[in-house]
Structure 1
Amino acid sequence: MTKKELAQVIIETEDISKSQVERIITSIFEEITNALAKGEEVSIASFGKFSVSKRAAREGINPSTGAKIKIAASKAAKFKAAKQLKEAVN
């Protein structure tokens, strides 16, 4: 499901205009992104938890040349599904 498809489902089920729904969805994603950028966790009951995971610097191998390369430390967004979401999927 894309962002547009999600908006369309909300438009069909709620009495809200398309532009309002798109602004709300965009705002939600922006706030989640901003919180993660600050290193905060975002927990949504019955859905799951977004958090930031730190990856240590490590040594890797360039697959085309076989040469060893250094991979810098980085951060990545992580999502852990809530029990209710896991049960709904299964």
Structure 2
Amino acid sequence: MAAAERYIIQVERPGERIDMASIRVLLGDTGVELDADYGPVPVNPKLGRYVVRGLASPDARARAEAIPGVRFFAEVRQEPA
């Protein structure tokens, strides 16, 4: 089994109220583990675009990305210079 990696997960749901509970329901059967301390962060509320942070194996990511409006981005940790 491949190791889980950290991602920023974009959820786009125009016209819907977005909170952590609704994102948990949306991603519930995918195997994605959400970071309860991060998000949802509004990116563009007019478009219904929010981001959360989570852990996902390659299989969990593939299942989640099959959901319309869900996209994954690498989480790059920034270190102080």
When normalised by structure 1's length, the TM-score is 0.22
Point out the structure with max Rg over C-alpha. Answer: 1
Question: Does 1 or 2 have the higher relative contact order (CA < 8 Å, sep 6+)?
Answer: 2
When normalised by structure 2's length, the TM-score is 0.24
